[in-house]
Amino acid sequence: MAMNGFENDDYAAPMAEINTTPLVDVMLVLLVIFMVTAPMLTQAIKVELPSDAATQIADENPIVITISLHGIYYWNDMAMTETKLEQRLQLLSDSDKNSAIHLRADVNVLYGSVSRFLSLAQKYGLKNIGFITDPE
């Protein structure tokens, strides 16, 4: 009796295999969704910066801080260490927090040197800082 298909003992046991086809289909759809949306989330903001030079600053007797290519700090053309610069900024903060400071940094100076100066100035409450650029 070869026609007794459902009465066979082989089919009486529960099926122990998982059908992975729907799982693969769902994963492929999610992969496509992430591939389409990921570039939209990581796009940088496109900004066209102005090419004009800034207007002349009319501060009287500004303090000029220069940062050379090698990260050396200068206070009005006098070289100093970062510790000495911090002491000078603290003294300036104690006398006049509104003093004008002009920052001149080499175009190839490491960002860390500029960042350290700005954090020191912020630490002592000095906020009147202008960035000096080369006119066109």
Residue 80 lies in a domain: yes
Q: How many domains does the chain have?
A: 1
The answer to whether residue 89 is domain-embedded is: yes
83: its two tokens: 């510790």
Quick one: pLDDT at residue 10? 58
> What beta strand segments (E) does the chain contain?
63-67, 73-75, 78-80, 101-105, 129-131
Residue 11 lies inside a defined structural domain of this protein: no
The verdict on residue 102 lying in a domain is yes
Round to whole Å and give the CA distance between 27 and 35: 12
| 33: in domain | no
- Residue 97 sits in which domain range? 63-131
> What is the rounded CA–CA span in Å between residue 64 and residue 113?
15
- Residue 66 sits at φ, ψ, to 5 deg, of -115, 135
pLDDT digit string (tens) for the chain, length 136 residues: 455 555 555 566 677 788 889 999 999 999 999 988 887 776 554 544 444 566 666 667 888 888 888 888 999 888 899 999 999 999 999 988 888 898 888 878 888 888 999 999 999 999 888 887 776 6
Q: Is 22 helix (H, G, I), strand (E, B) or coil?
A: helix
Domain contains 26: no
This prediction's pTM: 0.57
Q: What is the CATH number of the domain that holds 102?
A: 3.30.420.270
List phi, psi (to 5°) of 80.
-155, 160
